[in-house]
Chain A
């Protein structure tokens, strides 16, 4: 075989082997959760694990029958959707104004304020939310999510808005469109990729967030990650139901990302170039 071709073949083989190894490392925990969720309790915690087993849906039945799964699911859905909606309503116009007025220093200020570790915010928030009657409310959870979602969204969307040519907006003004109308009918459709990226990332982050709901939610507003945590809090560790609950919590995110991955990949690259 020609040495150059052989070298190219070896390079390709090594490249794909490395990719497979990385994929295994990242995907192994997920597949472990899937397998464990389908196993009986006796086999779930076995070491080494059994690769061939009779699957069961008992763990899922236990999760559904455990008090609160559907309430927690509903809480997660409501909090995430409200967070995303309010985030878009606040962040998109903000990013647009910063972009058009070339006030990038504002962006640095917003990001600078976010540099404090989130955990330092929890105690003050707990006290404030308790006093304002926001503790154990979905509104409180939405507000806590917005404190990081808004700066992140503005930062990501800034590049998208800066890439919309001003002349396109000016053409709309001359055609008779108001400034708000131009923003809604012309500018927003042109940054659709960025919006879908933000919604996808936002969904992932807000759906999975654990620390804020753990401290700021109570019996009525627990979200799914806190519900899953409940399986760890008891004296014994039920790997089967724990894995089933974790899988059920993860599935919506996986589906959402798979549906939007075309925009997600492009959006990250595009926004990141600024």
Chain B
């Protein structure tokens, strides 16, 4: 277990800043997920915590001990790499035992620790094999075992599931979380997969262009993204984002596009009035759209009609694709509703659940 404090860390490659003024406090036993698109700096940051990358500015503390410029072996951390990084010339047993041999553990102690880790991960029968005799999932478990056997203060994961197939990824995810709970360890996990981030992290840190966009629990980030990027990045299918105009009519405020004119609830309208927006981005999650049997002609302020471009039946739900203002949007509907390609259907919107983003700054307007 360990606390990690990252203070104003900057990483420069020549003149290019890959990580900009990054600060984060990580508590004991937290499972922090760094998520973001490729090139956002998450792996660079992880490598700085590991000591594999020099820090240009700022400080890193592990358990209040400054480790900013300490070599990797002095930080008591273990890392699981994306491509496993197993020692090809050693057996699974020796891969697991290597760090213990370096620390001058006795043969008996090494055997006990390796056996214990191997049994935890289902590797007991593979100890005599070499890495080239293992499947991808087995290799990843060996990489995990190599980290566990050291009983480190901090675990670092650098996209460990990227090279696995979808089914294996799901099972390994569960295994990693199970181990985290059993060991009660602190972990920093890097991924570009927002689904992985949502299912695994106690806290998620969304990054873009080297900076933190938002950090919080998965639900906080999902329900209240601070900006358009976070709103569009987190959630699958992605949040529908459309540019709308704002119209005020007395005390009522409407958001308008080519297909709808929707009345904003008072709670959302108050921030909008104050900002005097003419145009805004509206974020509508696919599940906030619902099927309307028959549109009330007298009340078109909460629903609108669309032409179906694509139907994706997924068993437990169906995804309906349609176009609005030149943008393809997705609605998540009950699978039992009979909808076909080119049908004209009516969709309602749960207006209290939409997100509004400033057109210039792209920040969430409700954070006023």
Interface residues of chain A, those whose CB is within 8 Å of chain B, are 165, 167-168, 170-178, 181, 186, 189-190, 192
- Chain B residue nearest to A173 (CB atoms) is B72
Q: How far is the CA of A244 from the CA of B83 in the complex (A)?
A: 56
Q: How far is the CB of B171 from chain A (nearest CB, A)?
A: 24
Q: Which residues of B contact A177 (CB under 8 A)?
A: 73, 98, 102
Q: Which residues of A lie under 8 Å from residue B83 when comparing CB positions?
A: 165, 167
Q: How far is the CA of A176 from the CA of B85 in the complex (A)?
A: 15
Asked if A171 meets B73 with Cβ closer than 8 Å, knowing A176-B102, A177-B102, the reply is no
B341 in the interface (beta carbon within 8 A): no
A170 touches B72 (CB 8 A): yes
Is B212 an interface position by the 8 A CB rule? no
Would you call B294 an interface residue if the criterion is a C-beta within 8 Å of the partner chain's C-beta atoms?
Answer: no
Q: For A167, what are the chain B residues with a Cβ–Cβ distance below 8 Å?
A: 81, 83, 85
Interface contact A174-B77, CB-CB below 8 Å: yes
Q: Check B73 against A186 for contact (C-beta < 8 Å).
A: no
Smallest CB separation, B15 vs chain A (Å)? 20
Is B103 at the interface (CB under 8 A from chain A)? Answer: yes
Q: Using Cβ atoms and an 8 Å threshold, which residues of chain B touch A178?
A: 73
Q: Please determine whether A175 and B88 come into contact, CB atoms closer than 8 angstroms.
A: no
- Which one of A165, A181, A192 lies within 8 Å of B85 (CB-CB)? A165
**Closest residue to B82 on the A side, CB-wise?**
A167
Choice from B52, B88, B103 contacting A176 with Cβ under 8 Å: B103
- Max count, chain B CB within 10 A of own CB: residue among A173, A175, A181, A190: A175
Give the residues in chain A near B146, CB-CB below 8 Å. 171, 175
Structural contact, B73 and A190, CB atoms closer than 8 A:
no
Contact A186 B78 (CB under 8 A): no
Show 27 residue pairs from A and B whose CB-CB distance is below 8 angstroms, ordered by the A residue.
A167-B81, A167-B85, A168-B85, A170-B50, A170-B85, A171-B79, A171-B86, A171-B87, A171-B146, A172-B98, A173-B51, A174-B50, A174-B51, A174-B52, A174-B72, A174-B73, A174-B77, A174-B79, A175-B98, A175-B102, A175-B146, A176-B73, A176-B99, A176-B103, A177-B98, A181-B102, A186-B87
Q: Determine the main DSSP class of A at the interface with B.
A: helix
Task: Answer yes or no: B167 CB below 8 A from chain A CBs.
Answer: no
Q: Complex formed: what's the CA distance from A84 to B72 in Å?
A: 34
Q: Which chain A residues border B89 with CB–CB below 8 Å?
A: 189-190, 192
- In the assembled complex, the Cα of A175 lies from the Cα of B97 at a distance in Å of 10
Q: Which residues, 28 to 87 on B, are CB-close (under 8 Å) to A? A: 50-52, 71-73, 77-79, 81, 83, 85-87
| Bound-complex Cα distance A186 to B94 (A) | 12
Which 9 residue pairs of A and B lie closest in terms of their CB atoms, listed nearest first? A175-B99, A167-B85, A171-B85, A176-B102, A176-B73, A173-B72, A189-B89, A174-B72, A167-B81
Shortest Cβ distance from A164 into B: residue: B88
B203 within 8 Å of A by Cβ? Answer: no
Expressed in whole angstroms, the Cα–Cα distance for A192 and B87 within the complex equals 14
Specify which chain A residues have a CB less than 8 angstroms from the CB of B72 in the assembled complex. Answer: 170, 173-174
CA distance A221 to B127 in the complex (A): 53
**Could you tell me the distance between the alpha carbons of A190 and B87 in the complex, rounded to whole angstroms?**
9
Q: Please tell me if B150 contacts chain A, counting CB pairs below 8 Å.
A: yes
Within the complex, what minimum Cβ distance (angstroms) separates B20 from chain A? 24
Shortest Cβ gap from B188 to chain A (Å): 14
Q: From B75, which residue of chain A is reached at the shortest CB distance?
A: A174
**In the complex, residue of chain A having the shortest beta-carbon distance to the beta carbon of B71:** A173
Instruction: Report A44 CB to chain B, min CB distance, Å.
Output: 51
Complex-state Cα separation, A120 to B348, whole angstroms: 90
| Complex Cα–Cα for A173 and B52 (A) | 9
List, in ascending order, chain A residues with CB within 8 A of B52's CB: 170, 173-174
Enumerate chain B residues within 8 angstroms of A175, measured Cβ to Cβ: 73, 98-99, 102, 146, 150
Question: Interface centre among A170, A176, A186, A192, by most B CB within 10 Å?
Answer: A176
Whole-angstrom CA separation of A172 from B51 in the bound complex? 13
Contacts of B50 in A (CB 8 A): 170, 174
Among B79, B86, B150, chain A packs the most CB atoms within 10 A around the CB of: B79
Q: For B81, list chain A residues within 8 Å (CB).
A: 167, 170-171
B contact residues around A165 at 8 Å (CB): 83, 85
| In the bound complex, CA of A228 to CA of B50 (Å) | 61
> Shortest beta-carbon distance, B162 to chain A, in Å?
13
The answer to whether B88 touches A190, judged by C-beta atoms less than 8 angstroms apart, is yes
Residue of B nearest to A179 (CB): B71
In the complex, what distance in Å separates the CA atom of A20 from the CA atom of B122? 55
Give, as a whole number of angstroms, the nearest-CB distance from A171 to chain B: 4
Q: Give min CB distance, B73 to chain A, whole Å.
A: 4
Separation of A190 and B130 alpha carbons in the complex (Å): 13
